[in-house]
Structure 1
């Protein structure tokens, strides 16, 4: 009887749309949300121009900030306990690998969080980072709704258990550009990224990059942004000089 009563109470308190949202969020979290308003806000884009009764914007950006802090806190505590050999620099680098924008975007995509977004901007016009942004805002909503312990449970389930393997992460490169620069500085080598526009035949704007070390061009790359072109050239440089760069 108690189970039937609980189901009946839930169906009375939630309309059909909220009921579907409740069930979807519960499936993702692994526990029942208490206040759906936090989770609705977590998927509200600023383009909706919503305001609360005090005139403050209603969107996920503040929750994203909070979720980022909660995620970093839980990951930092996990690494502190699981990697007793690591100094501050090591722990910081490992945390950066786990909470990299690329990885957060993957997590948001895996959960298909974009299906919940409320926006006046068509979904196809969003950049890749929207996936990671709303993943962080979801964590922020969990913290407001259920507190730190439930936040930690979610991060353990969705991030740490499936993805955090310390030995594997030690060998993961999150920025080839940083790797190349660190190596050049350590070996006292002079490096230079020569960037130029390289527009395609169809008018698409491209950027070309030549990466030189000690006056010699090591790699070239082309991409739709300077950052991507530099990273691609750096990756090619790493593979070209891997034997030297991997030497201790």
Structure 2
């Protein structure tokens, strides 16, 4: 950036910008150049903002970019550090590292939701907003500071604290996928019986009965069908764990 333009931008910043600049500097451990990119990364769609070109001004496009950068940098790291891994193995490891659970944990650890601009109250945010904001932040770093700095940030925040190959190999990221795969291999029938289970509560709940070979193995309820099925699958896994994964001798 032209030095005179940078000086002008610095002088035109509001006190609120100064606070936000300090926050971003601490989070990314570097000096941002274009603060507007980071403002976008923390703008929720409920603000209904548009840019000078009439396009939506929120974090969703940056979230898409950040997701791609995470996938690329994690894939490159695994390719270099696990030379014996085939395509299927590397894909599975990458999925475990960038799982929604991990991304949400990363977003929470950085307290990103504390800085989001939104017309939605914090208590109504989906759990996934933490991971979405983390991905948007990664996208913003890439646009503002380039690939190398983005790679360093991912190494510091994701690879160093989370990438332990031995632990990841044993980590289950989807109990439903694992259970379905096991049932198919064992030629067992399975069925998720889903029904609304609201009771007297204002929030809509869904109940699930998981049947394997026409026998109910587990039940669960949650605020979405997907969550209820995953919880039921996890419970079924622990019921059948000795069969699914026989103890080694």
The one-character-per-residue Cα deviations of 1:139-189 (angstroms, maximum 9, x if unpaired) are 111011011000000000111111111110111111110010011111111
| Separation in structure 2 between the aligned mates of residue 203 and residue 62 of structure 1, nearest angstrom | 33
Partner Cα separation in structure 1 for residue 9 and residue 154 of structure 2: 27
1:189 alignment partner, SS class: coil
Quote the Cα distance in structure 2 between the aligned partners of 1:124 and 1:219.
30
Deviates more, 1:169-178 or 1:96-105: 96-105
**1:221 pairs with 2:226:** no
Moved more, 151-160 or 102-111: 102-111
Change (3 A) 1:66 1:204: closer
- Please say which of residues 48-57 and 63-72 is displaced more in the overlay: 48-57
* Residue 36 (structure 1) aligns with: 35
> What is the aligned partner in structure 2 of residue 140 from structure 1?
139
Q: CA deviation at 1:100?
A: 1.3
> How far 1:225 moved relative to its partner?
2.1
Aligned length: 241
Q: State the TM-score, normalizing by the size of structure 2.
A: 0.90
- The gaps in structure 2 that reach 5 residues or longer are 1-6
Whether 2:82 is the aligned partner of 1:83: answer yes
Q: Deviations over 1:107-156 (max 9, x none)?
A: 11110111211122222221111111111111111011011000000000
Q: TM-score, normalised by structure 1?
A: 0.91
Distance 1:105 1:49, change over 3 A: same
C-alpha RMSD of the superposition = 1.9
- In structure 2, relative to structure 1, the CA distance for the partners of 1:50 and 1:204 (3 Å cut) is closer
Distance 1:216 1:29, change over 3 A: same
Instruction: Describe the superposition over 1:41-85 as per-residue Cα deviations: whole angstroms up to 9, x where unpaired.
Output: 111112222222221221111111111100110111111112222
How big is each residue's C-alpha offset from its partner over 1:211-242, in whole Å with a ceiling of 9 and x where there is no partner? Answer: 12122222222223221221111111111111
CA distance in 2, matches of 1:240, 1:114: 37
